[in-house]
Every structure is written in C-alpha cells, then in structure tokens.
Structure 1
C-alpha cells in the first residue's frame, strides 16, 4: 500500500468524484480508476459506488477514512512528500463558498489575478448554506468568503473588509431625491433580500430596536435582477454598500445613506483547521487577502 493509493482514497472520499479527484491530484482519470481497483482488491470491498449523487462510500469505506487520513498525515510528515505549491504549474480546481456580496466584491478581481499568476487553476463557486461548515471540514470546499458569524469552533478566519449599508431607489424616484429621511424610509415600500450572508437579519433587528417599521412589499431569495426591479418601480431596498455600488453600475438607480445608523458587518474568509498548513490553501488565502490590501 503506497502513499498515492491512500491519497486517491481520501480525495475520492472528499469529492465523491473520480474526475475531480484526478484534477486535485493532477492524475489522469484512468489512473484514479486503476488506483481504486487496487484499493478494492486490497480491502475486499467496493469502497465507492456510483450513484446519481456521485461516488458514495460504502460503510466499510466510511470506517476507513479516519485511519487513512491519520496515516497520510504521518507519512507526509515523515517522508516530506508534501511539496510546496507552485501556482504557475498547478492544474487543479479550487472550490469556494461565497455570499452574493463576495461574488460582487471579490470574484472579478480574483479571476483576473488567477489568469495572471496561475493560468491552469480553475474556480468553482457554491453558495453559502447550512452545509458550508461540513463542506469545509470534509475538504469539499477550500474556503468560504462572506459574512458568516455561524462559523466558530474548528475554523480559522481573516477579515477582508468592513461593510456598511445603503438604501437604493430608482434615479427618478418621485418622492426620494438627494436626501433620505426617517419619514421617507417608513413611508416607502421596501424589497428585502433574504439570502444568507447579506446581513438582513441584523438590519431587521436594528430597525426593531429603533422602533422603525417598514412596509415590506416584496421578499427575494437573492440579488438576481434586483437592479432592474428597483430601476423600474418605486420600491426601496437596503443592501450592503458594495452591492449598492454594483447596482449603480448596471441599473438606473441611486444610492443614499440610511437615515439612521445601521450595524457594520465584517466580510471574512474562513477555512477549517485541517487546512491551516496546506500549501495550496495557504496560497489561495494569500491571493484573496492581497486583493483587499491593494
């Protein structure tokens, strides 16, 4: 049993995919299949069964994953086979969980930077959800970027920037001009975007604390089409500042400061402590943090 077979087992277990395991290990799909065949013969078990949801582990594979990962960690430390990550030569896919704010504030700059320094690296984005902590822990995602106060024990974090809020209405709104007052805010009909990581719960809590009731005419699950919606109606929406800046670029709208102080949210990148010293993960974190220090 050599180290590469154990690495193949671990990567297929994490990704539930032969092709993704090959990408991450820089191995051909056929080589991954051959390695799986050797593993199955050695353990006398199918280990992974192809289903509609990918390569699912058998009960025996589930019992093997913890000792195999311990063995990998020990072997890599003893043999020093964990080489430094070379982004210019690497062929792999990073999987990042993001909120809508991160899509707007980070993704374009990240893609441009990767094309310059790591042209063979690809990125796969998934949305922040209740499964994000488990995905980070299992290695199914490399990073999570956004406003995620629920990530606590077992996770590292680094603040990228602070984010305040703005109120957005169409440019020629008949009642809201260059200044927004409390009475205007309470009088208008509002859109509320309920996507995770938008800070909308904090806004609602603060409005309740201030005794401000707003007329919520529409609730949306995400920011998709929000610019066109606001630009063609008299609705008002309160969104993080960077979302407001993106809406200003794509729609005929204007952004105004809220008529009262709202909480500031911290946008952070999060990773599991298993990957604190992983060279590839460390490199990706440094690229993302550098984008906000420039």
Structure 2
C-alpha cells in the first residue's frame, strides 16, 4: 500500500457514497463535491491504496474485494469522525437540510405522501424528500442506504430488517357517478358481469387482490390493466369500468364528486401497511425521527367503511 498522503473524512465518505450509488455522479449530492473534484480525489485514493477500488460493470461501478474488506472499518471511522453520521447526535428537523428517500407504492404516494410532505414543511422547512417506487430492488436499496424507509405491504426481506405496523387497509369498488347500470349498491351479478380496470403492482399489498378473489371463487372481467392508479379517476369517468381499490384511495378520489364508492358484495380482503428499514440505520437519528413521524401520523387509522354512496366521508 502506497502511503502517498493522509486520508480525511471526505475521502471515507466518498468511498462509501460511490459504493452505494455505483457511480461518481450519484455521489455528488451526498459528499458536496463536484463530479470532476470527486474523480480527482478518487484517483488519489487509488494511488494511496494501490488498488482500483472500483471497476466499471454492467451494473455500474462496483467495489473491488479489497475495498469491500475495508468497508466495516470505513463505516466505523465515519461514525466517529462525522457528527452528521453519529447516532449520538440528536436530529434537528428545524435546521437540517437532509434529503430523505422514501419508498412508496403509487397508491401510498396518493394517499400518504401529501400528509408526510405537510409534516416535513411544518417541522423542517429545509428538509427534502424523494419518493421512489417500490419494486424488486427495494430491499437492497434499504440495505445500501439509497432508501431511508419503505412503506407498504410485506416485502421479501431477509435478516437484518426491522418493520413496524401502521394500519390495516380494506377494499372498495369505485365507478363513475353516472354509471348507466349501477346505482347505490353493487350486487354480485353486477360485479361479475361488468368489466373491470385492474392494477398490476407486484411489490404492493394490492398484488394479493387477485389471489384472494380467486381463492374465494370471485372472478372479474378484466378489460384493462394499468401499472399505476395515478390517472385512475379520469379513466373511470370516461368509461363504464369498475375498479377495486384500497378504501382510503377510494375516499380520496370521491372528493372530486365524479366517482362514487360502493361496498363490495362480499367480505373485503384486508392487508396491513407497515414501514421497513435496515438495521444499519436503526440508530441513525434522522432515520429514527422520520420513522416516528410516519408512525404517529398513520398508526392505527380507523377502518374506512363504504356503506354510504355520494359525498365522501372523512377518512
């Protein structure tokens, strides 16, 4: 190993963030240096250690085995040297400029994200938030620190993850208010005969809907499938399609008074919404603060009932 220069905290942060982002560009916002400055510093680090440290692959820059062997010591040194990383330093939302990264389904983005953003604006005017779709990479993003938290249904998680229950959710059926064949109640025959719009969302609780309906012998005539419900209201008011959606989303869409909510003609499937984080960040003061905020905002929300049709009822 060539001892050409001494290392400082920025060098350690640089190695950590490039390894997490798998690119020099992705590390820019985290270490506060420009891309050219990072490239120059990385060159010095390669000379210092006598190792490439990162190699370019189809998946981005990957750490060499030598750098991987150092990461435990690097993480420990960062926590000792960097007040922002220290778990013993209290997180102050009023002064922090931290950018949180929250994994949410499209439905959670519509139902939960406005409340979270409102809370952040009130408690931490300079805090920032990125909302990232849930997918098959969610677990690895939590582990690497590219996600602070994920909120949704149970993921395929291995050892090393924490989870916390927030609330239970059920389903309702929604149609356009002036649907020509469906009035203020939905029969089993109508549910079977009418055409449906369905959501393809493999990393969310909604992915269980088809399985549960099949187990109960309930069939739908799926006319169209979409990967997001972000344009759901406009689709329904322009067609005669039915959609089975989480009840809190149904209530939100009904506020526009173009959609009406109908109880399902059979017992509604239910699922639990939880928040998840990796043990690496369990003692991180900022992560802990965000978890507490979300828990206190959404824990044990009362169930949403769909007995009434017409003006939306409070959630």
Q: TM-score range by the shorter chain?
A: 0.7 to 0.9
* Structure 1, unpaired ranges of 5+: none
- 1:47 maps to 53
Alpha-carbon distance, 1:198 to partner: 4.6
Q: Gaps spanning 5+ residues in structure 2: where?
A: 1-6, 302-315
Q: Secondary structure at the match of 1:266?
A: strand
Give 1:76 shift. 5.3
Cα 1:287/1:17, change in 2 over 3 Å: farther
* 8 Å contact from structure 2 (residues 154, 205) kept in 1: no
Instruction: Give the aligned CA root-mean-square deviation in angstroms.
Output: 2.7
Q: Is the 8 A contact 2:201 2:207 kept in 1?
A: no
The 5 Å alignment of 1:113-152 reads 113-152=119-158
Q: How does 1:162-181 map to 2 (within 5 A)?
A: 162-181=168-187
SS at match of 1:219: strand
Q: Secondary structure at the match of 1:159?
A: strand
Task: Report the TM-score, using the length of structure 2 for normalisation.
Answer: 0.81
Return the structure number with greater helix share: 1
- Asked if the contact 1:231–1:251 (Cα under 8 Å) also holds between the matched residues in 2, the reply is no
CA distance 1:9–1:78, shift in 2 (3 Å): closer
Query: TM-score, normalization: structure 1?
Result: 0.87
Answer yes or no: is 1:252 the counterpart of 2:258.
Answer: yes
Distance 1:283 1:18, change over 3 A: farther
- Paired residues in the alignment total 289
Please point out which of 61, 65, 71 is paired with 1:63.
65
Provide Cα deviations, 1:250-292, integer angstroms capped at 9, x if missing partner: 4611011111112211111111111111122112212222222
Deviation at 1:149, TM superposition (A): 3.5
State the 1:32 CA deviation.
Answer: 4.5
Q: Secondary structure at the match of 2:141?
A: helix
Give the superposition deviation at 1:72.
Answer: 3.1
- The 8 Å contact of residues 10 and 68 in structure 1, kept in 2 or not, is answered as no
